[in-house]
Structure formats: C-alpha cells, structure tokens
Amino acid sequence: MVTFLAGGTGTPKLLDGAARVWDPAETAVVANTGDDVELGGHLVCPDVDTVLFAGGGVLDRETWWGIDGDTTATHAELRRLAEEVGLGTSPRYLGDDAQTAGREIARWRRFSAVGEFMEIGDRDRAVHLTRTSLLDEGKSLTEAIRVLADAFDLDVELLPMSDDPVATLVHTEGGETLHFQEYWVARRGEPPVADVEFRGAADAEPTGAVLDALADPVVIGPSNPVTSLGPMLALPGFERALRETPVVAVSPFVGDKVFSGPAADLMEGVGREPSTTGVADSYPFADAFVLDDADPTGLDRHVERTDTRIDGADDAERVARACERALAAVADNSVDAP
C-alpha cells in the first residue's frame, strides 16, 4: 500500500505515472481541501476534483482543473446577468460564521454566485451540485467523494484530508485577508503575501480513513508546501502520523527555481526559503527526498536524484520510480538500524 498527499498540479501529474509503479487498488490519495469554496451554495473542491477528473480520464490537461471540452453556458449567463445590472464580477463574500442546517458554512469560504468569479464549466458544476446535495442529504464529505469516485470509475482510493471545513486565507502586505481562490483566481496571485493562515484547521480533524492511509508509506509529490500541504499539516495529529511512517517528498524546486505556480511567493510570505532547502525545512518528518539531477542542494536526509520535470506519463513514471527507490532505501535503513 502507498499513500499520496495531493494538491495543486504537482502530485496529480506524478499520479499519472504512479499506476505503473504501484497497483492503483493499493493506492490512496489524500487531497487538500483548504482551497475549497462554496459558490452560490455549491461546494467546489479543486484539489479533490483534479485527482477525480484525472483518474476518470476527463481532466482538462491544459489547465489541470475542470473537465476537458466542458461548456460554460451557465457561467457565461451568471456573468452576463451580473454585468447587466451593474453588479460586476468581483468575489462577493456571503454570510457569517454561523452553523447552517447542521453543516458548517463559514463566511471565509462562502461566496455568492452573482458574477461568478471562478470559471465553472457546466459538467464541472454538475459535480459540485451532486456533492453538495449528498452533503445536504447527511453524507460526510468523504462519503460524497466516494460516490463521485465510483461515478468516475476511479481505481485509487480518493480521500479528502478532513470532513471539517478548513480555509486557506492569504494575508496581504496591503492588510487584506483573501481566500486562496480570491488571491489566486480573482487577483491572479499578484498581491504581495504577508502570511498564510489555515482557518478552521485547529478545530478540524483528519478523518479515520486518512489516519489509516497514513499508516502506509507516504509520497508527497512536487506540490506547493504552503497551500497544498500546509492545510493538511495544520490538522491536529497529521504530522505525528507522518513521523511514524516512511515519507518521501519530491521537491517542486530545482535549487531556488520552481517549475510552476505560486510556491515561491507563498513560501517567502510565510518566512520559508523559496527553494529545495525551504521544502526540506517544511517537511521535518520526511525521511527522503527526490531532487532534480541539476539541483545543487545538499540535504541531511536520504536523496534520490532524477530529472524531476513532469510533462507526461513517462516522466511521471521516472519520478515515481525514484520515489519507490527512496522508500526502499528508507525501509532498508530502518531494518539495519540497531
């Protein structure tokens, strides 16, 4: 058995090759839910859905979010209506921190659908509607996602990190507090980051299914340590579980160069060096790292090297094999240890 911790695009890209290395029936994927939002009452889970759509063979692989070839008729009409009456298309926060209908719908991740600031495809929206209705019927997020995983014929076990809401909030140098999606989609990741907070994490719990999955060897793909892994690591008991199992992490950096995304800005914002060294500092529980051949970083933990650029399933398989070697080396060491 092996468990992947996934967020953004890094780990989903690695999963494309993982099926050639580990039996999918023996693979669990724990997905970040810190960047989830409710839009017009529909729960959108971007990091869960990237794994869901990739596994179901329908992911838009240009963007790594949404469904390939999806139409956007409803989204276009939501924006047209809002513009028509002068309401615009900026994010509009809703509600307060009250509990609604037994399910916590907290202000900090709840937005109006007026002028919809994220592009939600028509088929994508059907997934959010189904998920939200399953929650309204009383299912947990874990159960709702299991239903969706069955519908998309997923061959891995896909688990949200928690059934409780957690919201990744970006505090800007300008003194604003923005939900991650507002920072990333509406503001294009431009405002300088002063700090990142995982609202709700201290009161949230990893699910039993997640804790079971963390008893197996863990692979952290080249995801963003702050916004993809940060929300998981902020859950009580999560890091403790990782200390007790072999963990290998793939650096999303080559030295101080990042392949894609906002990782460098966000790491600087939280006071971490935006580099492989900063990644290693973020993962004190990791036993081994997979670094790029060209990465000059030296680490005090086991290192396997390969070309870590992932542009397709063959690249992903090569990086997954390096992860497998790293886990084998860590297992051998613990057997040899006195």
Region near ligand FO1 per CB under 6 A, out of 45-53, 97-105, 291-299, 305-313: 45-53
Cβ count within 10 A of residue 101: 8
In the bound state with Ca ion, the residue whose beta carbon lies nearer, of 148 and 279, is: 279
In the bound state with ligand FO1, the residue whose beta carbon lies nearer, of 44 and 288, is: 44
Residue 65 contacts ligand FO1 per CB under 6 A: yes
Q: Identify the residue among 46, 55, 206, 221 touching ligand FO1 (CB under 6 A).
A: 46
Q: How far apart are CA 21 and CA 14, in angstroms?
A: 11
Q: Return the one option of ligand FO1, Ca ion, none that residue 247 interacts with (CB less than 5 to 8 A, by type).
A: Ca ion
Region near ligand FO1 per CB under 6 A, out of 77-85, 118-126, 233-241, 299-307: 118-126
Of the candidates 118, 127, 131, 129, the residue with the CA atom closest to the CA atom of residue 75: 118
Of the candidates 281, 229, 278, the residue with the CA atom closest to the CA atom of residue 257: 278
The amino acid present at 84, given as its one-letter code, is E
Residue 185 contacts ligand FO1 per CB under 6 A: yes
CB of 225 to ligand FO1, least distance (A): 13
Beta bridge partners of 314: none
CB of 330 to ligand FO1, least distance (A): 28
Q: How far apart are CA 338 and CA 333, in angstroms?
A: 10
Q: Return the one option of Ca ion, ligand FO1, none that residue 47 interacts with (CB less than 5 to 8 A, by type).
A: ligand FO1
Residue 122 contacts ligand FO1 per CB under 6 A: no
Residue 184 contacts ligand FO1 per CB under 6 A: yes
Residue 91 contacts ligand FO1 per CB under 6 A: no
Residues with Cβ within 8 Å of 291's Cβ and at least 6 positions away in sequence, in order, are: 251, 254, 276, 297, 299, 303, 304, 305, 308
CB of 56 to Ca ion, least distance (A): 32
Region near ligand FO1 per CB under 6 A, out of 46-54, 203-211, 286-294, 314-322: 46-54
Burial class of residue 271 (count of CB atoms within 10 Å of its CB; 0-12, 13-18, 19+): exposed
Residue 35 contacts ligand FO1 per CB under 6 A: yes
Q: How far apart are CA 283 and CA 214, in angstroms?
A: 15
Question: DSSP of 62-124, one letter per residue?
Answer: TTTSSBTT---HHHHHHHHHHHHTT--SS--B---S-EETTEE--GGGEE--TT-SS---HHH
In the bound state with Ca ion, the residue whose beta carbon lies nearer, of 123 and 301, is: 301
Residue 158 contacts ligand FO1 per CB under 6 A: no
Distance set, CA 107 to CA 112, 205, 282 (Å): 11, 20, 29
Q: How far apart are the first and last CA of the chain?
A: 26
In the bound state with Ca ion, the residue whose beta carbon lies nearer, of 253 and 283, is: 283
Question: DSSP of 194-233, one letter per residue?
Answer: EEEEEETGGG--B-HHHHHHTTS-EEE-S--IIIIIHHHH
Residue 166 contacts ligand FO1 per CB under 6 A: no
Distance set, CA 73 to CA 70, 119, 125 (Å): 10, 10, 11
CB of 125 to ligand FO1, least distance (A): 9
Site size toward ligand FO1 (CB under 6 A) is 16
Residue 8 contacts ligand FO1 per CB under 6 A: yes
CB of 293 to Ca ion, least distance (A): 25
Residue 160 contacts ligand FO1 per CB under 6 A: no
Residues that bind ligand FO1 (CB under 6 A): 7-8, 35, 44, 46-47, 49, 65-66, 118-120, 124, 181, 184-185
